[in-house]
Amino acid sequence: MKPIRIKPVQFIPVSFLAAILAGTLLLMLPFATVSGGDTSPLTAAFTATTSVCVTGLVVVDTYANWSFFGQLIILLLIQIGGLGVVAVGAMVLLIGRKKFTLTDRQLLGNSLNVDKTRGLLLFLRRIFHGVFVVELTGAVLYSIKLIPLLGLKKGIWASLFQSVSAFCNAGMDVIGPNSMMDFQGSWYMMGITMALIVLGGLGFVVWFDIIDSIKKGIQKKRPPAMVFDHLPVHSKLVLCMTGILLLAGTLIVLAAEYHNPDTMGNMPLGEKILNSLFQSVTFRTAGFASVPQDKLTEVSCLAGYILMFIGGSPVGTAGGVKTVTAFLVLMNAFSYINRKENVIFHRRVSEELMRKAAAVVSVSFIAVFIMSVLLTVTDQLPLTNVIYEVVSALATVGLSRGVTPHLSLAGRIIIILSMYLGRIGPISMAFFFTRNTKTENKIRHAEGTFYVG
């Protein structure tokens, strides 16, 4: 009997599934809940999945249902899921001074979604060091507000949980039942949360490109304005797309909710701007809510579908098809119309990359359609709520219009599958079922005539 061999690209879905199963078993333990009672396998599986997939959709309140042990398990799952199961495992092995084979490096590269193998372990160390610094800083800043509010022990724990959850774009908290609604007028709390969400969503490659560019700028005495000019094209594109999407989302939400008394209509102008910006940020796979999501206007929901579907940027903690992917698909269409080459910041984009971007968007859109149809059939919900829930799950956002706790058994299974599929990526799932096929000496068929458009 031949041993089962898993390709590096297949190991990623398996590793996330293993983490979900382990989390499910731990959350089913009696002392994982406040009441000490048994937790149903489906509830435990849903919570473990939303934690590992850093989504944030919940069927029971995180702050009220789970004991400290249960919350600790959830926090560990969020951290593991945000950084990637393989990356966390690799870091543990690295601390243990284990030598990495070429296969190990390929597996780690696939997990981090980077093509390089040279310097990969140094890149991994920089990621973990940076994440530790950012999350610890966030926890300290949160504690200034939360310790006086909740007391010393609970304040410290809530600050740590909030920081990790915000940075990993998970959207879960242990402060109370209202997410960020109790702080909708606090520039301090909302600002810290938005900063952590954006930092996690930018991607680690962008972090280090900015840091390296600043260091070189200081060494060569360049003016601060030239830091952006000397960034690699990927980081330039990510920063531009992030800024454009955040600004566009803020303006749309502000216009749509300005007179809505159920969301921002009764707020002063400053708070309207703050909460519109926060809603735009949280649409980008974060899952925290400063206003009731079920009270948003149809216009805001439509903007939310698009922003959630796009999500954050590559090699980060956010979900979605990613900013760069969405831009490449749009650019390809306009380049074809204008009969121009696909060029960004004077750099040509390869055909293989364009095909990958088109595949990611197409498969993700198909997944949204299929899951929306299934959820409509099983739960008979309004279409707005169905699409909002499904896109939120597939893009690992975690925002809900109040329907998650009331989903049927079949509906919960659909959302679990959506969250899992959204975290590993539809393309990764497709690769999981592919066999090794040789690409050499393939027959080239005669070109056919087709009519498009």
- Both tokens assigned to 176: 């109370």
The pLDDT score that the predictor gives to residue 437 is 46
Handedness of CA 15, 16, 19, 24 (dihedral sign): negative
Furthest CA-CA distance within the chain = 73
User: Residue 175 phi/psi, 5° resolution?
Assistant: -80, -45
Contacts of 127 (CB under 8 A, 6+ apart): 83, 87, 112, 204
Handedness of CA 394, 400, 403, 407 (dihedral sign): positive
Contacts of 391 (CB under 8 A, 6+ apart): 304, 305, 308, 309, 368, 397
Q: What is the pTM of this model?
A: 0.90
For 150, 277, 328, 342, 343, the CA distances from 337, given in Å and listed in that order, are 58, 34, 14, 11, 14
Residues of the chain with pLDDT under 70: 1-10, 85-119, 426-442
Give CA–CA dist 424/15, Å, rounded: 10
Pairing, β 347-348 against β 343-344: antiparallel
